[in-house]
Every structure is written in structure tokens, then in C-alpha cells.
Amino acid sequence: TLLRDADGDGTYEGRWVFAENLNAPYGLAFYGDKIYVANQDALVRFDWVAGQNRAAAAPTEVAKLPSAINHHWTKSLAIDAEGRFLYVGIGSNSNIGERGLAVEENRAQVWQIDATTGATRPFATGLRNPTALAFEPGTKQLFTVVNERDELGPDLVPDYLTSVREGAFYGWPWAYWGPNADPRAQPANEKKVQATVRPDYALQSHTAPLGLAFAQAAPGLPAPFAEGAFIGQHGSWNRKQPVGYKVVFVPFSGGKPNGAPVDFVSGFQADGKTMGRPVGVTVDPKGAVIVADDLSNTVWRAVPTTLTPAAAAASAPSTAMPESAASAALAASSASAASDPTSPASPATPASRASD
């Protein structure tokens, strides 16, 4: 779905179905005159001309992606600054390898794909479910957020944000958070346990991070949010006390996480009711943070209140915005997609999960 803000007032007046008949699309990346989409079974490419509202032709397949079983079906996507390589996050086919390791071939990895030839190779491995990818603008370092394993209790294992190092192994299924062995992973592999790289930054367990965007791409954001990562947390499904269901901001310094996370947009749960579940997060050139919510089928737009009075008035909420922990610094507007079957709601399939 394509949303357009033709007059720049912060409201998306136009909405078009840019492309149809995709196969559970999730990752999206732009480079020059190309749009890349990561379906659950293939990376495809559309030609793009500025101003067009609908794809002129069917997409071209760049590379096939692992899709058998697809316990974790989402395929996250990022492209480097030169447009040479694309990176695709591919989740595992199980929680902890209980289906056998044969079905985990080419899973729980970040792939590097040549944009021209479609050649693929594992870039990093042992990442149970890398649900979002983004490059830190200053260092050009690739980062991901990962949904870690379940059934070790409400406080293990922490989901995490980490840089993605070429050739690194991050533990799944044999270890977690560095060389901490998980005895459920069989057959045991002590060599893999000891080779496990510790991630950079722990998020709370079971928050299910699905979105990742860097603030540096939106120069209009106020100082507290000028350098760091916005993370959309879809929320837990397996805790008596739910966690997540919000967008958090992780401060960065020198291209690395530095400081405690801050609740940026919250209030998606109240009085035992869930009203929204954040998924994708991005920023726009005007300094707004865009959040896709796949429960209410809404795209939320959070903007600084330091805009000019006219712009601030134009961005007043058109529907009720979830209460934000950063409400003193933000105003909000939304573009509802509730009636649009092609809205940015993650497609659900009975035998698979986007996050867990």
C-alpha cells in the first residue's frame, strides 16, 4: 500500500494499492529507481518512477528464500548505502530445534544477496528470528532485533538489539546471550556454545521486537531522540504480566547503544484490553516517526511539537492516539487503514508466527 502526503501537512490524503498478489510480504527497501520486497518465499524487485501510484509490471525475482514449514515466516530486509547488497533476516523453523536440525538448514540467519546477480550467502548465523534490519547511518553498521527462544520462564531469554557482524554466530539453538548453553538443544555442540557472540543490547524477554529504525535518518527529531534506535515491540503472548506493546527508543553514542530504553509510544494496553500491537517502525524526512499497528490496522505518525503553529495544527490527531510516554515532546496524527485489506497488517498463517 502506498500512502501519500501531497501537501506536506502530515496527513496522508492519498492511498493506493501499489502491488497485489504478493506472498506474505514483510521486508521493504528502496534504492534509486528500485523497490525491493521480501515475500515469505522470495526477494522480488519492482521498477519505480517518482510519482507513480501503482507498479507498472509484475515484479522480477531476485532470489528465492527458504520457505518450507516457515514457522517464522517473516523476511526482514535492508539494503546497503551503495545498493550493491541486500540483507534478509530469516527466522528459525522451531523454538529450539525440536523439529530436528535438518529443517533448520539456511534458517536463523541473515543472508547477504547480490542485488545484480541474486547470489546468496550466509552473512551471520545463530539468530533465532531476526525480525528487522537497519543500517546505523553514522557507521554504516548493520543492526538487527531478534526474538529469542521461549519456554525458559517469563524472564529468559532476553530479546535483543545487536550489530550484525560478518561471519558471527549468535548462539541459536545451542546457546543464548553469549556462551550460556541451552540443554534442550540436541545433539549438544560445545564448540558452537563457546563460539557464541554475545549480542550488544538486551531488551526485555518476550517483548517481541519487530520494527527497527534509526533516528539519525530524521533530522527534525528533538535532541533527546536525535541519536538512537526506535524499536517496535509487538508484545508478549506467553507471560501472565504482558510486556512490550509499545515503541521504545534506545539511545546511541558513537554508533553503539548507550543508555536505558525510553518508552516512546505506549498505551496500547489498558484495563486488560489490547488496542494495538506495533510492528514496523520508520522515520520520515520531516522528523516524524511512523508506526504500523497490525491489531487496529492503523499507521500512526508521531511528530515533534516544535513544528510551526500551522504545521502543528495540521498534524493534530484524526483518531485517538495511544497515550505516549513522550507526550510532552510529541503530537500525533494517524492514517487509518482499518478498511483496507492491503494495509500494513502482518499477514497471519495458522501454522506460523511473525514473533514469539
Q: pLDDT by residue (tens digit) across 107-124?
A: 999 999 999 999 999 999
At residue 305 the predicted structure's pLDDT band, cuts being 50, 70 and 90, is low
Judged against a pLDDT cut of 60, whether residue 347 lies above it is answered with no
Question: For residue range 149-197, what is the model confidence (pLDDT) as tens digits?
Answer: 998 988 899 999 999 999 999 999 999 999 999 999 999 999 999 999 9
Judged against a pLDDT cut of 60, whether residue 314 lies above it is answered with no
Residue 75 corresponds to which cell in the numbers above? 523476511
The residues facing 124 across adjacent strands are 110
Please report the pLDDT score of residue 310 as a whole number.
Answer: 34
CB neighbours (10 Å) of residue 349? Answer: 11
The residue extents of the domains of the chain are: 17-166+197-336
Span 24-42, average pLDDT:
97
Please report the pLDDT score of residue 286 as a whole number.
Answer: 81
Task: Name the 3-class secondary structure at 8.
Answer: coil
Cell 497471519 belongs to: 348
Using the Cα atoms of residue 10, residue 15, residue 20 and residue 23 in order, give the sign of their dihedral.
Answer: positive
Pick from 190-199, 265-274, 303-312: least confident? 303-312
On the question of a cis peptide bond just before residue 173, with omega within 30 degrees of 0, the verdict is yes
On the CB side of 153, CA atoms within 13 Å amount to 2
Please report the pLDDT score of residue 155 as a whole number.
Answer: 86
Cell 501499489 belongs to: 18
Mean pLDDT of the chain: 85
Please report the pLDDT score of residue 354 as a whole number.
Answer: 58
Judged against a pLDDT cut of 60, whether residue 315 lies above it is answered with no
At residue 142 the predicted structure's pLDDT band, cuts being 50, 70 and 90, is very high
Question: For residue range 239-259, what is the model confidence (pLDDT) as tens digits?
Answer: 778 878 999 999 999 999 999
Judged against a pLDDT cut of 60, whether residue 327 lies above it is answered with no
Pick from 5-14, 82-91, 153-162: least confident? 5-14
Judged against a pLDDT cut of 90, whether residue 271 lies above it is answered with no
Measure the CA–CA gap between 114 and 83, rounded to whole angstroms: 9
Within 8 A by CB and 6+ apart from 341, the residues are none
Cα distance from N-terminal residue to C-terminal residue, the chain: 26
Share of the chain above pLDDT 90, in %: 69
Q: What is the CATH number of domain 17-166+197-336?
A: 2.120.10.30
Q: Report the residue count for the chain.
A: 356
Judged against a pLDDT cut of 60, whether residue 313 lies above it is answered with no
Where is pLDDT greater, at 272 or 198?
A: 198
Beta strands in 100-149 (DSSP E): 109-114, 120-125, 130-135, 142-146
Task: Name the 3-class secondary structure at 283.
Answer: strand
* Rg of the chain, C-alpha, whole Å: 20
Please report the pLDDT score of residue 104 as a whole number.
Answer: 97
At residue 267 the predicted structure's pLDDT band, cuts being 50, 70 and 90, is confident
